[in-house]
Chain A
Amino acid sequence: GQNIDQPTEMTATEGAIVQINCTYQTSGFNGLFWYQQHAGEAPTFLSYNVLDGLEEKGRFSSFLSRSKGYSYLLLKELQMKDSASYLCASVSAGNKLTFGGGTRVLVKP
């Protein structure tokens, strides 16, 4: 089966850094995604990790440790527009794509 956990909500200040953790238990693990979702909109892709280590994309970075079943998304130089929900999702070998409950990030001035 698949089980994904992430914090419900986080608050940070504009210009700061926030780290959103995600733990997963996925049979036949085949990669981990991070998506951003603004209220009332569809999710949009941020990153994908299948090998251990850090993937950096501009202000956003994502890390994976397969042995620990752990990932995090790091948001640097936070901007007001980064206020959104961030969804962690794992893929199984059978192409099942399961999402966690999402972490709502509120950026304050």
Chain B
Amino acid sequence: SQTIHQWPATLVQPVGSPLSLECTVEGTSNPNLYWYRQAAGRGLQLLFYSVGIGQISSEVPQNLSASRPQDRQFILSSKKLLLSDSGFYLCAWRQRGGWNTEAFFGQGTRLTVV
């Protein structure tokens, strides 16, 4: 069966520090991968998505970046965090090629920038 791992679950970082959030998927190959951010009481904002190794589509500018060094690994990074980067970060995967396949989410990382 397929599983998605996202870590850490919670993170407190000072303003200006770097960030690296990792997401890995097991039990499938060639997944579509997504990073979302959710502010308190709001919907999911799409940050990045990837349809293959090294292929990243960016939906937001600013100080975040994403990389996909391996087929089932998706990394969200920042060189210098801002206060506004605080939020709930969710990674998701979806089977490629299936038109009716649902997206499965990791458990999320709650990031607080102080």
A102 touches B105 (CB 8 A): no
| Residues of B contacting A89 in the complex (Cβ-Cβ under 8 angstroms) | 44, 103
A residues 35-94 near B (Cβ < 8 Å) are 41-45, 48, 50, 87, 89, 94
| Residues of A contacting B51 in the complex (Cβ-Cβ under 8 angstroms) | 94-95
The chain A residue sitting closest to B51, CB to CB, is A95
Pick from A30, A33, A42: contact of B90, CB below 8 A.
A42
Pick from B32, B103, B107: contact of A33, CB below 8 A.
B103
| Residues of A contacting B104 in the complex (Cβ-Cβ under 8 angstroms) | 45
| Count of CB-CB pairs between chains A and B under 8 Å | 57
A48 touches B46 (CB 8 A): no
B74 within 8 A of A: no
Size band of the A side of the interface?
20 to 34
B43 touches A102 (CB 8 A): yes
Interface majority SS (helix, strand, loop, mixed), chain A: strand
For the complex, give the distance between the alpha carbons of A104 and B38 in Å.
14
Chain A binder among B13-21, B65-73, B94-102: B94-102
B108 touches A42 (CB 8 A): yes
B100 touches A97 (CB 8 A): no
B94 touches A95 (CB 8 A): yes
Which residues from chain B sit less than 8 Å from chain A, CB to CB?
A: 32, 34, 36, 41-46, 49, 51, 57, 90, 92, 94, 96, 99-100, 102-108
Q: List 14 A-B contacts (CB under 8 A).
A: A31-B99, A41-B108, A42-B108, A44-B105, A45-B102, A50-B99, A50-B100, A87-B43, A89-B44, A94-B57, A95-B32, A96-B49, A100-B43, A101-B42
Which residues from chain A sit less than 8 Å from chain B, CB to CB?
A: 30-31, 33, 41-45, 48, 50, 87, 89, 94-102, 104
